[in-house]
Amino acid sequence: MIFCLVQGDAIKNSFPIDTRNYATFGHLRIAIKDAKQNAFIGIDADRLTLWRVDIIQTKENQEVIVKEYKGVELHSFESVGSYFQETPTSTNIRIIVEPLPSVTTEKGKRSLVDSDKGQNSKRAKFADLNIISTAHKIMEGIMKLDENESTYSNPKNFLSLPYPYLGEKLPIDRFAIDNNRYFNFMGRKEFRNILETINKLRSGTGYMKLFVYGTVGYGKSHILSAIACFLFRTGRRVVFLPDCRQLAVDPVDYTKSALFLAYHDDDAKINEINSCENFENIVDFCKKLQFKEKLYFIVDQMNALDELDNTGISLKIKQQINKMSNYHYYIMSFSANNKTILYLMQKQTGELKIKLYGGFNEEEMEEWWKKYSLPAMNDQEKERIKDITGKIPLFLNFLLEYSHKNFEDAFAYLKQKLKSIIQKPITEYSENLLGNKHTWDRHVGLMLSFITNTHPKLGYRKDDYDHRYFYIKDDNICYYVCGLIRDSMAEYLFEKREMEIFTNIKWISRISDFKTNPSVKRFFVEKACIASIFRNGLMANRVNFKPGGMEFFYNEKEIKFSSNKEKCIFYLPCCWNQEAINGLLISQTKDKLYVAPVQITLNKDNHSDSERKFFSSIWPNLKPNLSSFEDKLEIMFIWITHSSETDESVECITKETRNKNHEINPNYTQVVIGFGNVNSDINRYLPNQIVKIEKTNRESDKETKEQKNAQRRRGRPKKSL
């Protein structure tokens, strides 16, 4: 059984048809004409068009007239069973019957269209039934939700919530919304804080506005969407505007969609809203409500309006929203870099404010781990995930995009995704500050405080840093939102040759904070060593390397050798984690050309093949450019690790292939230098446990090292004569 309705009739006149007796829709049209003979006088069954729809019938919408409603056309030859099953039954209207209009009429009588013209004009004030139907569906889902706020603030709960907006343009770039318009929400502790603050809003005697702002990816939009659902569930009328970018495209229709949901149960108000032809009409509608009831306006992504400032649209829309919400409760959400919020942060204003910084707390993070099936990870690997993402929901969700076989694959994919969305905006912000030396110097000093989580220097300004990714808490400590932000900013400043950052005790002292994250600890140590070598020089094998310049290279062709210049250049690979070396010292004196690859490591055994990699991949590309320096060329491979060792000469090894000698490595000196010889502060902040392990490894592996060296000289490769 399905319910049908003749187009142009009120919902209360819907009628049921038992579909079990009819094979096709051609048969069903005949049955419908027989059931509603008076409605189709003079109209044959084949002049009826059937549309498949899904309109909820409620007590409130019985008087609503369905006019010009279209769905999916049902053709005569199609099987009824292919569209409608016998079970489950539904009281929703499933078929709209559209009779073909009469072309002629009796003399002296108007056509049905003409005779109904005045009535149709009146009916035009009714909203589209599709909108009303969707509104009822959304509210039907909302009213099934728990009205206990603790449900939404408990991270153990993963809820499916109706998305509380009627319009077709949903923010799918920020939400995973299914075909039934539901989204997933994990309980967040801040839900309670925001809700309690909203409940403190008071008309006349208290605050009526609340600003919610915070760093990128915290989950502000998800929390506010859940807040909107909860307010609806507890009887409040909510005007939820989730995306100011779409609002700017069509302010009137976008706002009317939100108002339709707020008044889903009030036909008179629905008709008033539908009659609003411009934003002034909407403002008047909301203003008239001030003495009857208070609406809760929730406007998300307000920062989008800042992006439109140069068009003049932004200011007008802001003014319209302010007028519309002026007599009601107004909750606004901003990105922390928003110009308006930066202004408000510096002034005492008549609004409540909530700051949302960072990502999940530890309890929320723990529940997130439990919820999702991820590659097996030990505690150390989980710490790496937490560090690089900052426990930010937006960033963690990248791990859920694909099923990864192991941690290494998952981490590599995550890092690549984060780089693609983070590196450009943070470097662009810094680039815009380069033009003014005083501003740039303040920015660099402030970035040092952010990436080392220390106090900022006095005198900084609010626009000296990007508030989306960096923040200063009430404890006056600087923070970054995630490890990739820290590393990206460090790499950027490194390439800008701001080496004083990496020899600063703020940077070096942070080494001790990453005991359970060796990759980050190594990153800090490497930067400190390279900067120290560049600023202070390095003594290796009785040669004093004192760099007079620093160059970054993508491939070996960019490394230049000049026969008439006495200087030392420190070449650094542009790619992160270059496997063979961290840098290359080229020093030319009157009598010598020194080529010294540098490898920095916390554990030399983990990089045991770095020398082989250098001489097999980089050295063959350098050697052709050194033919004029053969008589004065001296090569050394410099290791920088926990403790110095005795220098060791390594003889040239060749391999015979097709009657030719292929060089495995030239004559060179292996030099092992301790961190303390590069910068005495580094050893102070390296965990003692690691130093002890390294010392034990050196003692126990002394014999093994000699055996490896002997083994390397045996076999097919042989010394050159």
- Tally of CA atoms within 13 A in the half-sphere of 473 that contains its CB: 11
228 phi/psi in degrees, rounded to 5: -60, -45
Integer-rounded Cα Rg, in Å, for the chain is: 36
Nearest CA to 186 among 158, 153, 161?
158
DSSP letters along 58-89, please?
A: -STTTT-B--S---EEE-TTSBGGGT--SSS-
Q: Which pLDDT tens digit goes with each residue over 665-697?
A: 999 999 999 999 999 999 899 866 454 544 544
Residue 121 has pLDDT above 50, yes or no: no
One-letter amino acid of 446: L
As a whole number, mean pLDDT of residues 431-453 equals 96
Phi, psi of 258 (to 5 degrees): -70, -40
- Residue 688 burial class via C-beta count within 10 angstroms: exposed 0-12, middle 13-18, buried 19 and up: exposed
Residue 334 has pLDDT above 70, yes or no: yes
Cα separation, 246 vs 85, whole angstroms: 39
Residue 107 CA to residue 123 CA, distance in Å, equals 27
> Residue 173 above 90 pLDDT?
no
Burial of 47 (0-12, 13-18, 19+ CB in 10 A): middle
What token pair was written down for 589?
């004196």
Domains and CATH numbers, the chain: 2-103 (3.10.20), 135-356 (3.40.50), 372-498 (no CATH), 528-719 (no CATH)
The encoded tokens of residue 300 equal 């998300």
Model confidence at 710, pLDDT cuts 50, 70, 90, reads low
pLDDT in the model for residue 340: 65
Pick the residue with more confidence: 662 or 484? 484
Mean model confidence pLDDT for the chain: 86
Q: What is the pLDDT of residues 497-548, one digit of tens each?
A: 999 999 999 999 999 999 889 999 999 999 999 999 999 999 999 999 999 9
Residues near 468 by beta carbon (within 8 Å), at least 6 away in sequence: 215, 216, 335, 336, 337, 425, 481
Q: Could you report the per-residue pLDDT of 257-271, keeping only the tens digit for each?
A: 999 999 999 988 998
Predicted confidence (pLDDT) per residue in 541-573, tens digit: 999 999 999 998 888 878 877 655 778 999 998
Task: Note whether 652 and 666 are within 8 A (CB).
Answer: yes
Both tokens of residue 591? 């009598």
Residue 272 near residue 127 (C-beta atoms within 8 A)? no
pLDDT score of 245 = 87
User: What are the tens digits of pLDDT across the range 191-210?
Assistant: 999 999 999 999 877 899 99
Kindly give the pairing relationship between strand 593-600 and strand 653-657.
unpaired
> Cα 392 from chain centroid?
8
Residue linked to tokens 């160059």: 551
Secondary structure of 468-482 in HEC code, one letter for each residue: CCEEECCCCCEEECC
Instruction: Give the DSSP per-residue string, 157-222.
Output: -EEEEE-S--SS---TTT----TTSEEEEE--HHHHHHHHHHHT--TTTS--EEEEEESTTS-HHH
Going by their DSSP bridges, the two strands 718-719 and 653-657 should be labelled as antiparallel
Residue 63 buriedness (CB in 10 A; 0-12 / 13-18 / 19+): exposed
Reported as a pLDDT band with limits 50, 70 and 90, residue 120 is: very low
Residue 108 has pLDDT above 80, yes or no: no
**DSSP category for residue 266:** -
Per cent of the chain over pLDDT 90 is: 56
Say if CB 94 and CB 2 are below 8 A apart: yes
709 pLDDT above the threshold of 60 = no
- Under 8 Å CB-to-CB from 278, ≥6 apart: which residues? 252
Q: Where residue 453 falls among pLDDT bands split at 50, 70, 90? A: very high
Comparing CA positions, the residue from 467, 194, 451, 203 lying closest to residue 345 is 467
3-state secondary structure of 443: helix
In angstroms, what CA-CA distances link 545 with 380, 401, 531, 600, 638?
37, 48, 13, 16, 12
Q: In whole angstroms, give the CA distance from residue 49 to residue 611.
A: 80
Residue among 355, 351, 324 at smallest CA distance from 338: 355
Average pLDDT over residues 464-488: 95
- pLDDT tens profile 72-104: 888 888 888 888 876 556 788 889 999 876 444
Q: Are 360 and 391 in contact (CB under 8 A)?
A: yes
What is the model's pLDDT at position 563? 58
CA 336 to chain centre: 15
| Pairwise CA distance, residues 157 & 191, whole Å | 13
240: three-class secondary structure by DSSP: strand
Q: What percent of the chain has pLDDT over 70?
A: 87
Find how far residue 136's CA is from the centre of its chain: 32
* Residue 516 to residue 687: CA distance in whole angstroms: 11
Phi and psi torsions of 158, nearest 5° = -110, 110
- Of residues 720 and 409, the one with the higher pLDDT is 409
Closest CA to 633 of 589, 682, 679: 589
pLDDT band at 338 (very low <50, low <70, confident <90, very high): low
What confidence tier does 655 reach under pLDDT thresholds 50, 70, 90?
confident
Burial class (CB in 10 A: 0-12, 13-18, 19+), 291: exposed
* Nearest-angstrom CA–CA distance, 480 and 425: 14
Residue-level pLDDT at 583: 94
The length of the chain is: 721
pLDDT per position as a tens digit, 283-324: 999 999 988 899 999 999 888 777 655 555 677 888 899 999
DSSP state of 10: B
Decide: 290 and 329 in contact? Cβ < 8 Å. Answer: no
698 closest CA partner among 607, 605, 611, 606: 605
Least confident of 301-305, 463-467, 653-657, 701-705: 701-705
pLDDT, mean of residues 211-224 = 94
**Can you tell me the distance from the alpha carbon of 719 to that of 185, in angstroms, rounded to the nearest whole number?**
67
**What pLDDT, on a 0 to 100 scale, did the predictor assign at position 626?**
85
Question: What is the model's pTM?
Answer: 0.76
What span, in angstroms and rounded, lies between the C-alpha atoms of 223 and 184? Answer: 11
Q: Cα-flanking dihedrals φ and ψ of residue 641, to 5°?
A: -145, -160
